[in-house]
Amino acid sequence: MRLTLHTLFMMVLAGCSTSPSPILPPEKLTELDNKLSIKLLWQRTVGNGASDNYLKLKPAISGKTGYAIDHQGYLLAWDLHSGKKLWSKKYNTPASSALSLTQDRLYFGTSLGEVITVNRKNGQLIWRAQVSSEVLSAPVIDGNAVVVRTVDGRIHSLSATNGQKLWVYDRSVPVLSLRGTSSPIVVDGLVISGADNGKLTALSLKTGAVLWETTIAVPSGRSEIERLIDIDAQPLIRDGVIYAVAFQGRLAAVRIDSGRILWVRDISSYNGMTMDTNRLYLSDSEGKVWALDRFNGATLWKQERLLRRAISRPVIQGSNILVGDFNGYLHWMSRTDGRLLARTRLGQDPLPDIEEDEEADSMIFSQSRNILATPVVRNDIAIVIDRKGLLSAFRVSESI
pLDDT exceeds cutoff 80 at 12 = no
Helices (H) and strands (E) in the chain, counts: 2, 34
pLDDT exceeds cutoff 90 at 362 = no
Average pLDDT over residues 390-397: 95
Decide which of 364 and 272 is more confident.
272
Task: Name the pairing type of β-strands 177-178 and 2-3.
Answer: parallel
- CATH architecture group of domain 64-179: Beta Barrel (2.40)
The answer for residues whose C-beta is within 8 angstroms of residue 219's C-beta and 6 or more apart is: 198, 226, 227, 228, 229
Decide which of 218 and 6 is more confident.
218
pLDDT of res. 163: 97
pLDDT digits (tens, 9 = 90+) for 89-105: 999 999 999 999 999 99
DSSP state letters, 225-291: TTT-----SPPEEETTEEEEE-TTSEEEEEETTT--EEEEEE---SSEEEE-SSEEEEE-TTS-EEE
pLDDT of res. 181: 74
Are 46 and 74 within 8 A, CB to CB? yes
Instruction: List the domain boundaries for the chain.
Output: 24-56+309-400, 64-179
pLDDT exceeds cutoff 90 at 6 = no
**What's the CA gap between 114 and 105, in Å, rounded?**
16
pLDDT class of 2 with cuts at 50, 70, 90: low
pLDDT of res. 333: 98
Q: What is the mean pLDDT of the chain?
A: 88
Cross-sheet strand order for the sheet of 329-334: 315-317, 320-324, 329-334, 340-345
**What's the CA gap between 121 and 116, in Å, rounded?**
15
Domains 24-56+309-400 and 64-179 share a fold: no
pLDDT exceeds cutoff 50 at 131 = yes
Average pLDDT over residues 350-378: 61
pLDDT of res. 232: 84
Would you say domain 24-56+309-400 falls under CATH 3.40.50.10320? no
pTM for the model: 0.88
pLDDT of res. 174: 60
pLDDT class of 365 with cuts at 50, 70, 90: very low
**What's the CA gap between 137 and 134, in Å, rounded?**
9
pLDDT exceeds cutoff 90 at 207 = yes
pLDDT class of 196 with cuts at 50, 70, 90: confident
pLDDT class of 231 with cuts at 50, 70, 90: confident
pLDDT digits (tens, 9 = 90+) for 61-70: 999 999 999 9
pLDDT exceeds cutoff 80 at 10 = no
CA dihedral angle for residue 155, residue 207, residue 263, residue 280, rounded to 10 degrees:
-60
Beta bridge mates, 45:
390
Longest dimension (CA), the chain: 59
pLDDT class of 248 with cuts at 50, 70, 90: confident
Average pLDDT over residues 120-136: 96
pLDDT of res. 345: 93
pLDDT digits (tens, 9 = 90+) for 303-359: 999 999 999 999 999 999 999 999 999 999 999 999 999 999 998 544 443 444 444
pLDDT of res. 105: 97
pLDDT exceeds cutoff 70 at 18 = no
DSSP code, position 348: S
Chain mean position to CA 265: 21
